[in-house]
């Protein structure tokens, strides 16, 4: 029988069915995240915190390491992670890595070939290419693995928005003058088991559904070699992350793991946001790279602002992807009229997907607030209930707003700008309509 390539379909009789029934933190439809107490949580601010922390965990691994990422880049920082993973595998640790077939591109296929016969198990999630749009795979192409997760020895988990990609490199724009603005968390405690289970389920589905992935032909090697050489020449500065940095630590914290997929967790992340917004009393601070929310998401923010909650949005100020950038700007007028503050981050590229609501709710994860994340991609966030943790994240966001962002007080006024933005938003809505996932958009 020819294996299906739909790894979002849960095969009957999978091991997840019994596990779902047994998990006390599994949310039923319509419920919010289930919190478990007793966690140690570190807030990781960008790659300067994240890469030393994850390398230290991998270097100390005794039994297993699992990693999922959208992009596994070809740069010195990502290569350092690979070296730690290889060293772990060489000493007998079970190591598996899942990378997205579109996000990691041809370099991902090179990695899969490089480790095809080794102890490090490298898997590619949906290895489609852009030209598959013309072969009837358009919707499938948008169902990406966008999660950034790692679990070490079933004891330590990393969740956030940081790819295996140097903070000073952008795959489309080259070397950056300032680091990308992003966050992750390092977690120890009961919820790590749920994160590991989610990753194991995906591995099981990939192994069942997909044959091994190879390069298209020998002509791919020279292209990949040129790309590696160009990237390394651009890196005129050393990027070594060998020693752990002191990290802000919180003990006995309540945490919930909130995954999103196309099986049973279709609306979990958006629902967690909406419940927090509706309960907000004082403030909402949200930083998101790609902000094209559903109608109900926008209305929840506007209702909060209208009842006196201070709502601050930190959004992308640089044009990374023109369609998303201008579609976001088309939403400014209504948000500003309702009293929502909008700040555009301009120091570098904003990649964060985080929010703080009042003093007792915060989320860090991989999910953008756009239809591609909330309706199609596999995503993963955590929600943290801890006042000092929330205060630390809020302080980082407030500093970015004050020092590295520009406040938007009026929407674009020129006729051309308004038409451009509305056309971009219409194209996003058209893409959503074509996928058939129109809930709230």
With tokens 């490298």, the residue in question is 122
Secondary structure letter of residue 131 according to DSSP: G
Rg (alpha carbons) of the chain, rounded to whole number:
21
Closest CA to 340 of 407, 292, 270, 405: 407
Residue of 6, 153, 154, 360 with catalytic role: 153
Q: Which of these, 47, 22, 311, lies nearest to 169 by C-alpha position?
A: 47
Annotation marks residue 358 as catalytic = yes
* Active-site option among 8, 107, 351, 386: 351
From the list 300, 305, 325, the residue with the least C-alpha distance to 315 is: 325
Phi and psi for 179 in degrees, rounded to 5? Answer: -70, 150
Active-site choice (42, 148, 325, 326): 148
Per-residue burial over 301-340, b if 16 or more Cβ lie within 10 Å, else e, is bbebbeeebebbbbbbbeebeeebbbbbbbbbeebbebbb
Select which of 123, 143, 325, 353 is catalytic.
353
If we measure between CA atoms, which residue out of 293, 295, 345 comes closest to residue 324? 293
Rounded alpha-carbon distances, angstroms, from residue 386 to 255, 309, 357: 9, 20, 11
Quote the tokens at residue 220. Answer: 């791919």
Which tokens belong to 181?
């603005």
Determine the distance from the C-alpha atom of residue 354 to the mean position of all C-alpha atoms in its chain, rounded to a whole number: 10
Q: In terms of C-beta density within 10 A (0-12 exposed, 13-18 middle, 19 or more buried), how is residue 399 classed? A: exposed
Q: Active-site residue among 59, 358, 360, 429?
A: 358
- 146 has catalytic annotation: yes
- Who contacts 186 (Cβ-Cβ below 8 Å, separation ≥6)? 41, 42, 44, 53, 54, 57, 156, 157, 158, 247
Annotated catalytic residue 148: yes
Clarify whether 153 is annotated catalytic. Answer: yes
DSSP code, position 378: B
Q: Which of 39, 42, 146, 343 is catalytic?
A: 146
Point out the residues that are catalytic.
146, 148, 153, 351, 353, 358
């Amino acid at each position: 029988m020819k294996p299906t390539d739909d790894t979002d379909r849960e095969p009957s009789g999978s091991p997840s069915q019994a596990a779902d029934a047994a998990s006390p933190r599994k949310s039923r439809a319509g419920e919010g995240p289930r919190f478990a107490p007793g966690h140690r949580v570190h807030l990781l601010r960008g790659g300067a915190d994240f890469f030393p922390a994850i390398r230290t965990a991998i270097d100390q691994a005794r039994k297993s390491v699992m990693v999922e990422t959208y992009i596994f880049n070809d740069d010195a920082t990502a290569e350092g992670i690979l070296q730690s993973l290889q060293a772990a595998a060489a000493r007998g640790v079970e190591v598996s890595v899942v990378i997205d077939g579109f996000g990691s591109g041809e370099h991902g296929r090179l990695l899969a070939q490089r480790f095809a016969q080794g102890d490090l198990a490298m898997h590619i999630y949906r290895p489609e290419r852009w030209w598959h749009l013309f072969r009837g795979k358009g919707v499938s192409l948008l169902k990406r693995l966008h999660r950034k997760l790692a679990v070490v020895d079933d004891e330590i988990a990393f969740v956030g928005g940081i790819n295996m990609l140097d903070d000073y490199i952008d795959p489309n724009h080259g070397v950056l003058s300032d680091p990308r603005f992003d966050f992750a968390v390092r977690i120890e405690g009961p919820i790590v088991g749920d994160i590991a289970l989610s990753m194991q389920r995906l591995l099981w589905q990939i192994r069942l559904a997909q044959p091994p992935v190879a390069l298209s032909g020998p002509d791919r090697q020279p292209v990949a070699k040129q790309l590696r050489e160009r990237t390394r020449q651009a890196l005129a500065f050393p990027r070594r992350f060998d020693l752990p940095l002191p990290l802000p630590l919180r003990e006995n914290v309540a945490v919930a793991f909130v995954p999103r997929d196309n099986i049973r967790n279709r609306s979990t992340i958006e629902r967690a946001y909406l419940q927090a917004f509706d309960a907000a009393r004082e403030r909402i601070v949200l930083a998101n790279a790609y902000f094209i929310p559903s109608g109900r998401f926008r209305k929840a923010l506007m209702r909060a602002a209208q009842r006196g909650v201070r709502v601050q949005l930190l959004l992308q100020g640089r044009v990374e992807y023109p369609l998303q950038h201008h579609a976001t700007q088309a939403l400014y007028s209504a948000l500003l009229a309702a009293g929502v503050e909008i700040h555009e981050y301009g120091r570098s590229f904003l990649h964060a997907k985080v929010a703080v609501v009042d003093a007792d709710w915060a989320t860090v994860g991989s999910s953008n607030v756009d239809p591609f994340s909330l309706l199609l991609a596999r995503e993963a966030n955590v929600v943290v209930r801890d006042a000092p943790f929330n205060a630390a994240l809020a302080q980082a966001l407030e500093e970015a707003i004050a020092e590295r962002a520009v406040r938007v007080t009026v929407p674009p006024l020129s006729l051309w700008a308004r038409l451009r933005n509305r056309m971009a938003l219409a194209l996003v809505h058209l893409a959503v309509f074509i996928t058939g996932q129109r809930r709230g958009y």
